[in-house]
């Protein structure tokens, strides 16, 4: 079987090549392909009589880098089926070379990595950085914001032109300030080596890019990363640590329970007010509860926030086979049915009662709503909403009878039945009782505050006002839409 011999041309001149690679290029009578002739060593090879073909024309012909890489692989494999060839790439074949990865993935011809000198050594020397401090190497033509680690030395390679540089810049601006200093490194390790410091906003404006261009982003510190998850986790660890806050260190899962409930209700209020700024703040407070409970779990040696995230990811993937699997769904009803089916698979069925699926500690209206939903899933439900209205009238009559009998226990029970039926009625109209009552409570508060304000303007207190006066201002608030 013929072979594709892959060699690296290093970062600079021909004199930097290891001897065994130099001899292979100079003495072996095989067809030589260069990924690009725009490389210092390529010019010297030509001067010494080495004949080669390059793939620069493919770069010019294709708009997409992946298409370029695939065409190069296809050409090399086709050529190698007839006879062995040499393929020379900048730097080391195993460093930021997607064409080499493509060759290694195919099975039609043999591939042998001969070696070479990585330009990373020259890059670290030029920038005077030690990668042991933390280092990330990223292909500028193929990366996502989520994979970037700003606490480490960050280097983008393959920054061929201003278009790639612009993509890098716009991504970095999502996390770093516009005046953050970055470095454009050109031809590291060669006689043409040049390093230019620019502000991030000028990254794609100041310097002409080439296939020998890299971008270096120094580690970001201070408060620049306060918007990232690692910074949040570190802050919570500090608060719970030996030199942290006495209050945070004293908290337990039990002591934090009431705060979780309060924060959710404050979030609901922000949503009802359609206040985006308040929603951001309240979501942060909810997230704080998650982080504190997770840190308590970590401090006690039981679980960490990574376990929380992993469990959530596993659950969401499992419950969405129509997104992450091959299950077909055709409506929201299908999605809800799939969710419940996956949910049942995750937990052992409670052989005692389906009512056990509903959390006992929920607020009573929420629990009533969920109990009715569970019963409805197995067919224990009203067939039509008119029957529920009829049942509500029946329960109201029973309340009146209990009041007439002056039976306090019955009065309480019958009022409970009325609330339960109203909750069932709301379920038919897809209205959650907790949300509806919360909205009404807020409406009552706003209208009563209006009464207080209007009475104060008239120099009156609530105690001095008559019911008629208060009712007048109530109706006034109602007309205003409060």
> Residue-wise over 287-304: b if at least 16 C-beta within 10 A, else e?
ebbebbbbbbbbeeeeee
Common-topology check for domains 229-303 and 348-431? yes
Pick the CATH number of 348-431 from 1.10.287.1080, 1.10.540.10, 2.60.120.10, 1.10.10.10: 1.10.287.1080
Query: What are the extents of the domains in the chain?
Result: 3-117, 121-217, 229-303, 348-431, 435-480
What strand order describes the sheet that includes 213-217?
135-139, 153-157, 213-217, 181-186, 194-199
Q: pLDDT per residue over 223-255, tens digit each?
A: 899 999 999 999 999 999 999 999 999 999 999
Q: Which CATH superfamily is domain 229-303 in?
A: MazG-like (1.10.287.1080)
What pLDDT score does 348 carry? 58
Q: Which residues of the chain are modeled with pLDDT < 70?
A: 206, 344-352, 482
Residue 195 · residue 127 · CB < 8 Å: yes
Q: pLDDT per residue over 128-160, tens digit each?
A: 999 999 999 999 988 999 999 999 999 999 898
The secondary structure element, H or E, covering residue 284 is helix 276-299
What pLDDT score does 352 carry? 65
What pLDDT score does 256 carry? 93
What pLDDT score does 272 carry? 85
Give the separation between CA 431 and CA 425, rounded to whole angstroms: 9
Q: Rounded to whole angstroms, what are the CA distances from 234 to 222, 245, 296, 399? A: 13, 14, 14, 57
What pLDDT score does 189 carry? 80
**Class of domain 3-117 (CATH, top level):** alpha beta
**Class of domain 121-217 (CATH, top level):** alpha beta
What pLDDT score does 397 carry? 93
Give the separation between CA 124 and CA 115, rounded to whole angstroms: 20
């Amino acid at each position: 079987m013929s072979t594709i011999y892959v060699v690296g041309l290093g970062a600079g001149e021909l004199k930097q090549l290891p001897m065994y690679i130099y001899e292979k290029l100079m003495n072996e009578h095989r067809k030589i392909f260069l990924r690009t002739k725009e490389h210092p060593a390529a010019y010297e090879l030509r001067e010494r009589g080495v004949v080669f073909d390059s793939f620069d024309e493919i770069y010019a012909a294709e708009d997409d880098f992946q298409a370029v890489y695939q065409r190069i692989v296809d050409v090399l494999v086709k050529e190698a089926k007839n006879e062995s060839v040499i393929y020379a790439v900048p730097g080391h074949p195993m460093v930021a070379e997607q064409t080499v990865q493509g060759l290694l993935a195919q099975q039609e011809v043999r591939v042998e990595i001969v070696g070479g000198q990585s330009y990373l050594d020259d890059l670290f020397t030029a920038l005077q950085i030690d990668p042991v401090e933390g280092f990330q190497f990223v292909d500028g033509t193929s990366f996502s914001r989520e994979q970037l680690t700003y606490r480490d030395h960050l280097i983008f390679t393959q920054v061929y032109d201003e278009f790639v540089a612009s993509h890098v810049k716009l991504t970095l601006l999502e996390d770093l300030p516009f005046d953050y200093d970055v470095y454009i490194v050109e031809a590291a390790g060669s006689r043409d080596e040049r390093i230019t410091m620019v502000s991030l906003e000028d990254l794609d404006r100041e310097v002409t890019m080439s296939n020998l261009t890299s971008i270096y982003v120094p580690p970001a510190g201070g408060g620049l990363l306060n918007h990232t998850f690692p910074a949040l986790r570190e802050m919570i660890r500090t608060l719970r640590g030996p030199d942290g806050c006495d209050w945070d260190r004293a908290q337990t899962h039990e002591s934090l329970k009431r705060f979780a409930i309060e924060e959710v209700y404050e979030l609901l209020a922000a949503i009802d007010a359609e206040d985006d700024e308040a929603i951001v703040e309240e979501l942060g407070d909810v997230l704080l509860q998650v982080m504190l409970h997770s840190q308590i779990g970590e401090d006690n040696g039981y679980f960490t926030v990574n376990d929380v995230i992993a469990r959530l990811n596993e659950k969401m993937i499992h419950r969405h086979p129509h997104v992450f699997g091959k299950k077909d769904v055709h409506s929201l009803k299908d999605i809800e049915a799939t969710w419940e089916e996956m949910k049942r698979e995750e937990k052992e069925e409670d052989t005692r009662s389906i009512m056990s699926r509903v959390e006992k500690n929920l607020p009573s209206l929420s629990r009533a709503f969920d109990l009715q939903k569970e019963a409805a899933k197995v067919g224990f439900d009203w067939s039509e909403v008119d029957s529920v209205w009829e049942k509500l009238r029946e329960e109201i009559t029973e309340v009146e009878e209990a009041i007439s009998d002056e039976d306090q226990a019955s009065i309480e029970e019958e009022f409970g039945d009325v609330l339960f039926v109203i909750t069932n009625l709301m379920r038919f109209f897809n209205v959650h009782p907790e949300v509806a009552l919360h909205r009404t409570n807020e409406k009552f508060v706003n209208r009563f505050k209006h009464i207080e304000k209007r009475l104060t303007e008239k120099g009156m207190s609530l105690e001095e006002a008559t019911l008629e006066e208060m009712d007048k201002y109530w109706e006034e608030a109602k007309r205003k839409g409060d």
